[in-house]
């Protein structure tokens, strides 16, 4: 087993934190190298996801001053998951193990040692799992727990309290490369790769500087992508709801016929209007959900590239 490690760090407008991130990761590589845990060919690979600030300029400066820092620049912003995949697939050709983490220093760099230890013991995938969510707001903590429970109920195999802080071996990355879908949700795809896996618990810290790149609307969009990319249960729920409404309609029809023969006069205006609005709303909702799936099929069929590389610094 070789011991070349690449740490892949997707970046989008991270000029405020990037130098500190590079310093801490550089210290970690130095420490691991002195202990003989990794080779001198190990690198930190920063992936610039179409940043609009000085992120790429900083990456270029870091690479010029220290070849342990590599850079990959995408032609435009393609989203965190695509940027992460671009880095992972590039590192796959150069490393024996690859660790992915965010640039904001919330992921505990100290957990890298435990991840490497689990890898040397035979795990092809090592998930970084948060020990608790005490640093989150009550709203974020509650919505996160709801999301994981919902995904589990929908049949999606995910590691609870795991984001994208993980180690993957070369053969696990080769397996990941076989997944061709355009709609990426790596938290759901990676467990499908298989191979032996384990977890490492860590405490997530506060963001070092800058603002979160995942405001509420992006988090909701990310969650919805995960649901519609891995489960058809929402469509099945529409089918079940259709049967229920059909049964209720039959019951009301029987009631109306019986009431007519019994000479019961029913005003029914409020009930009629409520039924029309309810059924109309359900139909629009059903069409929207089906449309989401059709839209994903459309994206997959076009088979457009997930990303394009503009520049690579890795010598």
State the Cα–Cα distance between residues 160 and 123, nearest whole angstrom: 18
Q: Tens digit of pLDDT for each residue in 68-79? A: 999 999 998 888
- Same domain for 130 and 10, yes or no, is yes
Query: Is residue 255 assigned to a domain?
Result: yes
Per-residue pLDDT, 273? 55
Q: HEC string of 130-195?
A: ECCCCCCCHHHHHHHHHHHHHHHHCCCCCCCCEEEEEEEEHHHHHHHCCCCCCCCCHHHHHHHHCC
Asked if residue 185 lies in contact with residue 162, where contact means CB atoms within 8 angstroms, the answer is no
CATH code at position 79: 3.90.550.10
Asked if residue 4 lies in contact with residue 95, where contact means CB atoms within 8 angstroms, the answer is yes
- Residue that wins the pLDDT comparison between 141 and 97: 97
Query: Is residue 228 assigned to a domain?
Result: no
Query: Is residue 217 assigned to a domain?
Result: no
- For residues 199-227, give the mean pLDDT: 62
- Residue that wins the pLDDT comparison between 314 and 198: 198
The count of structural domains within the chain is: 2
Query: Is residue 218 assigned to a domain?
Result: no
Per-residue pLDDT, 235? 65
Per-residue pLDDT, 8? 94
Asked if residue 233 lies in contact with residue 155, where contact means CB atoms within 8 angstroms, the answer is yes
- Same domain for 86 and 191, yes or no, is yes
Greatest distance between any 2 Cα atoms in the chain = 94
- Same domain for 262 and 164, yes or no, is no
pLDDT exceeds cutoff 90 at 56: yes
Query: Is residue 109 assigned to a domain?
Result: yes
Domain with 107 in it: 5-210+304-313
- Same domain for 198 and 252, yes or no, is no
pTM of the model: 0.68
Query: Is residue 227 assigned to a domain?
Result: no
State the Cα–Cα distance between residues 261 and 241, nearest whole angstrom: 31
Give the least confident one: 40-44, 70-74, 243-247: 243-247
- Same domain for 111 and 184, yes or no, is yes
- Residue that wins the pLDDT comparison between 195 and 269: 195
Query: Is residue 215 assigned to a domain?
Result: no
DSSP letters of the chain? ----EEEEEEESS-TTTHHHHHHHHHHHHHHHHHTTSS-TT-EEEEEE-S-SSSHHHHHHHHHHH-TTEEEEEESS---HHHHHHHHHHHHHTT-SEEEE--TTS-S-TTHHHHHHHHHHTT-SEEEEEES--TTS-HHHHHHHHHHHHHHHHTT----TTEEEEEEEEHHHHHHHTT---SS--HHHHHHHH-S-EEEEEE-----SSS--S--HHHHHHHHHHHHHHH--HHHHHHHHHHHHHHHHHHHHHHHHHHHHHTT-----HHHHHHHHHHHHHHHHHHHHHHHHHHHHHHHHHHT--S--EEEEE--
- Same domain for 114 and 239, yes or no, is no
- Same domain for 11 and 154, yes or no, is yes
User: In whole numbers, what is the pLDDT of the chain averaged over residues?
Assistant: 78
Per-residue pLDDT, 3? 87
- Same domain for 267 and 129, yes or no, is no
Q: Is 54 exposed, middle or buried (0-12, 13-18, 19+ CB in 10 A)?
A: middle
Per-residue pLDDT, 203? 80
- For residues 176-181, give the mean pLDDT: 83
Give 201's pLDDT tier (boundaries 50, 70, 90).
Answer: confident
Give the least confident one: 6-10, 12-16, 104-108, 222-226: 222-226
- For residues 8-29, give the mean pLDDT: 90
Query: Is residue 221 assigned to a domain?
Result: no
Per-residue pLDDT, 45? 95
């Amino acid at each position: 087993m070789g011991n070349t490690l690449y740490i892949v760090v997707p970046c989008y407008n991270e000029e405020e934190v990037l130098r500190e991130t590079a310093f801490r990761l550089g210290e970690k590589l130095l420490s691991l190298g002195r202990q003989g845990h990794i080779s001198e060919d190990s690198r930190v690979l920063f992936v610039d996801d179409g940043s609009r600030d000085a992120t790429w300029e900083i990456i270029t400066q870091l690479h010029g001053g220290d070849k342990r820092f590599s850079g990959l620049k995408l032609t435009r912003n393609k989203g965190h998951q695509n940027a992460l995949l671009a880095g992972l697939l590039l590192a796959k050709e150069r490393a024996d193990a690859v660790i992915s983490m965010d640039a904001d220093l919330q992921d505990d760099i100290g957990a890298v040692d435990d991840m490497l230890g689990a890898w040397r013991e035979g795990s092809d995938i090592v998930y970084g799992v948060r020990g608790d969510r005490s640093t989150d707001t009550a709203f974020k903590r509650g919505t996160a727990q709801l999301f994981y429970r919902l995904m589990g109920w929908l049949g999606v195999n995910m590691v609870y309290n795991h984001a994208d802080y993980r180690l993957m071996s070369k053969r696990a990355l080769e397996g990941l490369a076989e997944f061709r879908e355009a709609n990426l949700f790596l938290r759901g795809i990676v467990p499908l790769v298989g191979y032996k896996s384990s977890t490492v618990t860590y405490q997530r810290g506060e963001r070092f500087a800058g603002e979160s790149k995942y405001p509420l609307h992006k988090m909701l969009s990310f969650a919805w992508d995960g649901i519609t990319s891995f489960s058809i249960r929402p469509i099945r729920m529409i089918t079940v709801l259709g049967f229920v409404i059909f049964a209720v309609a039959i019951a009301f029809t029987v009631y109306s016929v019986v009431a007519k023969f019994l000479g019961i006069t029913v005003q029914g205006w409020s009930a009629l209007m409520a039924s029309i609005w309810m059924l109309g709303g359900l139909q629009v909702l059903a069409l929207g959900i089906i449309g989401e799936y059709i839209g994903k099929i459309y994206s997959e069929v076009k088979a457009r590239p997930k990303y394009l590389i503009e520049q690579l610094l890795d010598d």
